Structure 1
Amino acid sequence: MKRTFLIAYTLIMGVLLGSCQKEKSFSFVMSEVNPAGSLSVRMDEAFVQKVQELSKGSITIQLYTGGVLGDNTEVTNVMLQAGSKIDIARIAPAALYTKNCNKHMLLDVPFTFSGHEHFQKFAKSPLAEKILNEPYENKLGIKGLFFAEEGFRHFFSTKKLTSISDFNGKKIRTAGNSVMKGIIDGLKGISVTVNFSNLYTALQTGSVEIAEQPIANYLSNHFNKIAPYMILDGHQLGITEVVITAEAWDSLSEKQKQIFIEASRYAQGECFKMLQEIESQNKLILQSEGTEFIEVKDISAWQTACADIINQSVTSDAGLYGEIITLAD
């Protein structure tokens, strides 16, 4: 009788303990500046779906696209505040190096990555983790989850560009970060700070003559309709970073954090695969719609023009930068 009672008691306690240990449910908000259907949104969707799948629906993420919650800078500033209504976002690393995250500046140094393979090797390495963890370790209230890419960034214009000399005196859009301003200075252009959401109008009105984006974003935002000339200089890689607030991250159990880590790896891999598939297709679509691509056969003159900002940016952590460069070997 006692044995039966003990077995029953053990079973009941096991059920009760199991119910007590049930993971807490969460509903998060995620921000994305690019429109539905773009490479970045498709990557975000892969991340969201994988989190919800692995958590068996206990963690849901509402994705807001098209910059309805703000541009990169605005969203980052919101997330840095306690009680942020935005929990997760895809941002540009530049939004963080203006917040004393010096390691993040290395990712915007012109002509750093020799190609997609070089960057992807970095993005999966411990070096990437050092940069992703920087804002969290600096107690800024944000933690990086993973890096991905949108392709190499190229300049596009309302008038044909054939060489560096065509940038002299032209009004060139910047989001306000120091590296892009340094590139524009090197090209002898005039920096004009414009929010991404206002860039199309700025090109229409002529307040901006030249801007830059990866090919995927150039197409998905229809910039080719008003600025049909793109020079393929590849001055920077369009690196993108998905971040989460420290408040949201710290509220997760260790098991749930692993779900986010696994979903991050999955979404990163999906992004790399999609990029390879669509980049050449996008070029064909753009050409059929009238975009003229100008090839750059030798980037040495561009590197020389940007030498000052390259040297200034590398000094933020020359040792780490050297390690990133050697991954190309």
Structure 2
Amino acid sequence: MKMLTKTVSIISVLALAGGLLAGCGSKETSQGAGEAPQDSGKKYTFRLADTHPADYPTVIGDKKFADLVNERTNGRIKIEVFPASQLGEEKAVVEQVQLGAIEFTRVSSGPLGEFNKNFGVFSLPYVFDSDEHLWKFLESEPGNKLLDSLESSKMRGLAYYSSGARHFYSRKPITSLADMKGQKVRVQQNKINIDLMAALGANATPMAYGEVFSSLQTGVIDAAENNFPSYQSSNHYEVAKNLILDGHQRVPEVLLISQSTWNKLSEEDRKIIKQAALDSVPTQREAWDKYEKEAEAKVRAAGVTITEVKDVKPWQDAVKPVLDKYRPEYKDVMDQIDAARK
């Protein structure tokens, strides 16, 4: 009897452990036989991580994507969006996506250069003349191939999102290229940005996005760089009240899925998810344009000193060594970017 009782206890413990493991990560179950044919297949609940606040344009795009997937699968595939770095900072989240622990994320293409060298091209300064030039490249065949190349990094790129142009903002006034000299500038974590700061006479300080406000506030760094919406939504303008519109980079956002998650989906579900991602782009871009105008108005009203760069050529001349250094590495993509200019 004691042996039987012990055996039953062991079986109970194993059953409980199995139940707990089944509750971790994404959830999936088989559909019932009596359900509608268009719902045939497995049910999933996935997570999508974003570092930005809930009302930020990228999160609006994330939610549109999730809604479209939910609608087109009749609720069979649910994607829960977690904004405001709830699941971690960008670099850590990308690593989790590679492992399949988080199924989706929206990430800046800047940090992606550390995971897939092709994406380093977006960190190169002044390679795009305008948003029109950028999107002409992103929507081209070479732009789509760049998304597909993430497969070698255990991820898949689903779509690009807009993020405008990046500018420098600082505790001390920056009104010209000369004012960059000696500034400690926070940059996204990739080697091109470090070389870029050196070319401008500044000192690069790579750090996580969530640390920037306190680092500016305490003087650990003198300056940072980002687009208008991030500058405003992060409240960085409260501790760095000088902004120069140099537009040194146009770094698009990327909506990603873990390769391991992609592998377990049916061909039909892959098509639904890919198309939903592409169909969410107009919503995100429209939200971006609106938010960018509102963010600029808010920081101007808050008394931020904004300097417009009327002649960008001195800046372009200063960073030419960076372009020369990396052109051999990115020659094919840079040639395609040049072709999109025509």
- Normalising by structure 2, report the TM-score: 0.86
The CA distance in 1 between the partners of 2:88 and 2:324, in whole Å, is 32
Which of the numbers 72, 77, 88 marks the counterpart of 2:104?
A: 88
| CA positional deviation for 1:95 | 2.6
| CA positional deviation for 1:19 | 6.2
* Structure 1 stretch displaced more, 103-112 or 200-209: 103-112
Matched, 1:274 2:287: yes
**Secondary structure, in 3 states, of the residue corresponding to 1:133?**
helix
| CA positional deviation for 1:60 | 0.6
Matched, 1:115 2:130: yes
The CA distance in 1 between the partners of 2:337 and 2:162, in whole Å, is 16
**Number of the residue aligned with 2:145:** 130
The CA distance in 2 between the partners of 1:260 and 1:145, in whole Å, is 8
Matched, 1:37 2:55: yes
Q: Give the number of the structure with larger relative contact order, counting CA–CA contacts within 8 Å between residues 6 or more apart.
A: 1
The CA distance in 2 between the partners of 1:144 and 1:19, in whole Å, is 29
The CA distance in 2 between the partners of 1:228 and 1:17, in whole Å, is 58
Amino acid at match of 2:312: I
| 1:1-329 matches, cutoff 5 A | 22-81=40-99, 84-99=100-115, 101-136=116-151, 138=152, 140-329=153-342
Return closer, same or farther for 1:316/1:288 CA change in 2, 3 Å cut-off. Answer: same
Q: State whether residues 182 and 308 of structure 1, in contact with CA within 8 Å, keep that contact through their aligned partners in structure 2.
A: no
Which contiguous aligned blocks of 4+ residues in structure 1 show a shift greater than 3 angstroms?
15-21
The CA distance in 2 between the partners of 1:184 and 1:317, in whole Å, is 20
Return closer, same or farther for 1:17/1:193 CA change in 2, 3 Å cut-off. Answer: closer
**Secondary structure, in 3 states, of the residue corresponding to 2:173?**
coil
Deviation track 1:35-54 (CA, whole Å, cap 9, x = no partner) reads 11112111111111111111
Amino acid at match of 2:120: M
Amino acid at match of 1:105: G
**Secondary structure, in 3 states, of the residue corresponding to 2:221?**
coil
| CA positional deviation for 1:97 | 2.1
Identical amino acids, percent of aligned pairs: 24
The CA distance in 2 between the partners of 1:268 and 1:32, in whole Å, is 16
Q: State whether residues 154 and 234 of structure 1, in contact with CA within 8 Å, keep that contact through their aligned partners in structure 2.
A: yes
| CA positional deviation for 1:319 | 2.1
Amino acid at match of 1:45: K
The CA distance in 1 between the partners of 2:297 and 2:181, in whole Å, is 30
Q: State whether residues 51 and 84 of structure 2, in contact with CA within 8 Å, keep that contact through their aligned partners in structure 1.
A: yes
The CA distance in 2 between the partners of 1:226 and 1:203, in whole Å, is 6
Q: State whether residues 109 and 314 of structure 1, in contact with CA within 8 Å, keep that contact through their aligned partners in structure 2.
A: no
**Number of the residue aligned with 1:7:** none
Give 5+ residue unaligned stretches, structure 1. 1-14
How many residues get paired?
310
Q: State whether residues 37 and 220 of structure 1, in contact with CA within 8 Å, keep that contact through their aligned partners in structure 2.
A: no
Amino acid at match of 2:282: G
Q: State whether residues 157 and 210 of structure 1, in contact with CA within 8 Å, keep that contact through their aligned partners in structure 2.
A: yes
| CA positional deviation for 1:268 | 1.3
- Normalising by structure 1, report the TM-score: 0.89
| CA positional deviation for 1:252 | 1.3
**Secondary structure, in 3 states, of the residue corresponding to 2:250?**
strand
Give 5+ residue unaligned stretches, structure 2. 1-32
Q: State whether residues 90 and 240 of structure 1, in contact with CA within 8 Å, keep that contact through their aligned partners in structure 2.
A: yes
Q: State whether residues 122 and 251 of structure 2, in contact with CA within 8 Å, keep that contact through their aligned partners in structure 1.
A: no
Amino acid at match of 1:35: P
